[in-house]
């Protein structure tokens, strides 16, 4: 059985992994769309389509990770 510090560390790492996965997925989608848009415009096409990711994703900060960890902790705490 894990002690409270180990559990908190596991929650922190889960939160970090979730945010990092979301960052890499969204950033890949955003970059692919920007490349496609640039290619279309270079060929003279007018692009009216928009990307599902509206703005370039920002790399998760420590504060972002702590906020996500708190959400996970609240879920675990409230749903025993």
For residue 19, give every residue at least 6 positions away whose Cβ sits within 8 Å of its Cβ, in sequence order, or none: 60, 64, 65, 68
Two tokens, residue 39: 């290619």
Query: Would you write out the chain's pLDDT as a tens digit for each of its 80 residues?
Result: 889 899 999 999 999 999 999 999 999 999 999 999 999 999 999 999 999 999 999 999 999 999 999 999 999 888 65
Two tokens, residue 66: 């702590």
Contact by Cβ (8 Å): 56, 35? no
Contact by Cβ (8 Å): 60, 21? no
- Predicted structure pTM score: 0.84
């Amino acid at each position: 059985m894990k002690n409270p510090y180990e559990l908190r560390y596991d929650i922190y790492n889960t939160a970090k992994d979730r945010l990092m996965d979301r960052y890499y997925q969204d950033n890949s989608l955003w970059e692919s769309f920007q490349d496609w848009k640039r290619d279309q415009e270079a060929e003279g096409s007018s692009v009216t389509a928009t990307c599902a990711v509206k703005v370039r994703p920002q790399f998760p900060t420590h504060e972002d990770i702590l906020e996500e960890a708190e959400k996970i902790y609240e879920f675990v705490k409230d749903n025993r």
